[in-house]
Chains A and B, each alone.
Chain A
């Protein structure tokens, strides 16, 4: 009997389980795999890979490795598969692409012994570090993408070094992403709280109308709302015109492509996510509590701080969590109204995915963003009182 119930339960839960696995677990694993995967050398240069794996890393590899790489590079060029390999090695060691293409093109003119022929073609073939680079990348997995995403890099000899000042981008990028998200969350909570309170105290007829004012923008495309801010904030836009006509400013302010514009547009886009959970929590609070507090002699500020605020904390937490999670992944809004130093991690994920087809970097950045966000949420749950996501059905 018990087994049958269990089977039934499992059957009922199966669609959800399949959905979670297919839409969350599998993509996550694929992304993680892409972030450490290192198939280029093994796939494109299989015989070279075998030859350098047998080499101990001292001096130069045997003639077989030189012969294999000359042969396989020419094949890869002909078979249109040299791109991934040359881009992968060039990413680790600038200049590799030119060397590989040059060697592939010169194959017809090369004659054994290939060691001498390749070194004569380009002296870099005679450097042990270059062969160590090839050997290192015959491994199935590489830490390179994660290292680069944290502003580290691999030195020619394979040791981990910090990226130079001219190459360091990503730590500042992660910090910026979380700082922007933090302030957007705070602003949404501070602005959303009184709005939700007002909504919850309005008579039902008015409350519905007012709620529509929150919901209509909520249902409008993010792109449209962001584009609207672009028009409002530009130099000869309505906001500047208003400020000038009121003699608040003499010359028009530069607002577009600034951090200010990013905050304004992001807070506007995300505000409903803060207001709606707050509203639903506030609606459920019986006014009798406040009356009880008042009858016991608590002044207004104390009634709010000691009674109302603690009871609405689950709403604050749920709204803040939602806003924060969404801000961390924001792409369109900072890209449209922000300047070059207002871009967030997603901008670079999109850049590596579409522009440079460096899916290892895109995946590593995505994994790190997910991990850091996860850690922050766990910490927030431990530190912030009343931060129990379950209470509002999230």
Chain B
């Protein structure tokens, strides 16, 4: 009996050693927002890296919920190594010690576009929202936010994101604030009131979306006539036969970043992978199969890329508004509450 027990203990200890050995050499776990971007990034970037280095890579999908990442870091059981995050979550997570600081001796800092690097993140892709509408219903629809407020000329429902972020900027742009001054104005109580007053003017005509798939969906279903939605989704809908105009003058854009989760046993490998997947060659390989707007200067400037992807953001950012991440990290919670109070009024 005792002998058996000892055998069991030895076996368990052996298994534990094996398990910990396996953990050290486990595959790199990359987590992103999913969708067609990730399906193609899996081929060109993740598996490309695996092939080039022999380091096995797996990927998974999340919805941007940070609670899971926070509890993972708190409990010390970090199963995600490289993660794609939006800018505000990146800044917050960096200050909270949720992400490792970028090792700029591994990742080359100078290959990124301006704003493409932060303490804890390396730029992956640009994303943006623009105004669009259903040309079957409206010919020569509004092509500026000021015109979107003209409900007499352009009747019908307007679909905006159910969030103060982008919505308040759009209200100020519609009210004639020049793009360069939007965040200066929005930082003052008077400017915030101005934005909400502007929204009040068309509140009965407003509808709100929560997930990125909805703008195209709700325009197609006829529930809304005009919408502000992600450009990638509009381009894809047009590839699928829709004829939505791309109104680049109304662009608001930002960057999604790669980051390494704090305490990842593969932090070093993660940095190496980020260096590889933000390089020009793999990004051009990705661009071969999927229209992207990379945050890598050289790749973005490649003329073949903008031909292949007419919706590439970096060719259209002139006149667009770069969403001020620091502003939203500092004021997001306060404005979120005011926005919710305003919605319920």
Contacts and interface: CB of A to CB of B under 8 A. Distances in A.
A21 B156 CA distance: 55
A76 to B, nearest CB: 9
Given A80-B101, A340-B162, A357-B92, A254 B223 contact: yes
A236 B341 CA distance: 31
Contacts of B95: 77, 80-83, 86
Nearest to A339: B208
Contact of B344 (A90, A172, A335): A172
A256 B208 CA distance: 11
Interface in B310-345: 329-334, 336-338, 340-344
B222 interface: yes
Contacts of B342: 166
Kindly name the residue among B95, B101, B333 whose own CB sees the greatest number of chain A CB atoms within 10 A. B95
Nearest to A255: B223
B210 interface: yes
A243 to B, nearest CB: 14
Contact of B336 (A166, A236, A356): A356
B70 interface: yes
Contacts of B245: none
B94 interface: yes
B181 interface: no
Contacts of A252: 222
Interface in A129-182: 165-169, 172-173
Kindly name the residue among B162, B218, B330 whose own CB sees the greatest number of chain A CB atoms within 10 A. B330
Contacts of B262: 80
A82 B91 CA distance: 11
B5 interface: no
A62 B196 CA distance: 43
A98 B330 contact: yes
A356 B218 CA distance: 27
Interface in A166-210: 166-169, 172-173
A95 B335 CA distance: 12
A236 B210 contact: no
- Chain B interface size, under 10 / 10 to 19 / 20 to 34 / 35 or more: 35 or more
Interface in B277-312: none
B208 A257 contact: yes
Contact of B96 (A235, A357, A358): A357
A353 B329 CA distance: 16
B66 A340 contact: no
Interface string A358-373: 1000000000000000
Nearest to B210: A335
Contacts of B329: 97
Interface in A228-286: 234-237, 252, 254, 256-257
Given A94-B331, A97-B329, A79 B92 contact: no
A388 to B, nearest CB: 38
Nearest to B193: A166
A295 B330 CA distance: 77
B96 A356 contact: no
Interface of A: 77, 79-84, 86-87, 90-91, 94-95, 97-98, 165-169, 172-173, 234-237, 252, 254, 256-257, 335, 339-341, 348, 351, 353-358
16 contacts: A82-B95, A83-B97, A90-B330, A90-B334, A94-B334, A97-B330, A166-B341, A173-B344, A236-B222, A340-B340, A340-B343, A351-B336, A354-B64, A354-B66, A356-B332, A357-B67
Q: Which 10 A/B pairs are nearest by Cβ-Cβ distance?
A: A83-B95, A83-B96, A80-B97, A340-B343, A354-B65, A235-B223, A236-B222, A235-B222, A234-B221, A94-B334
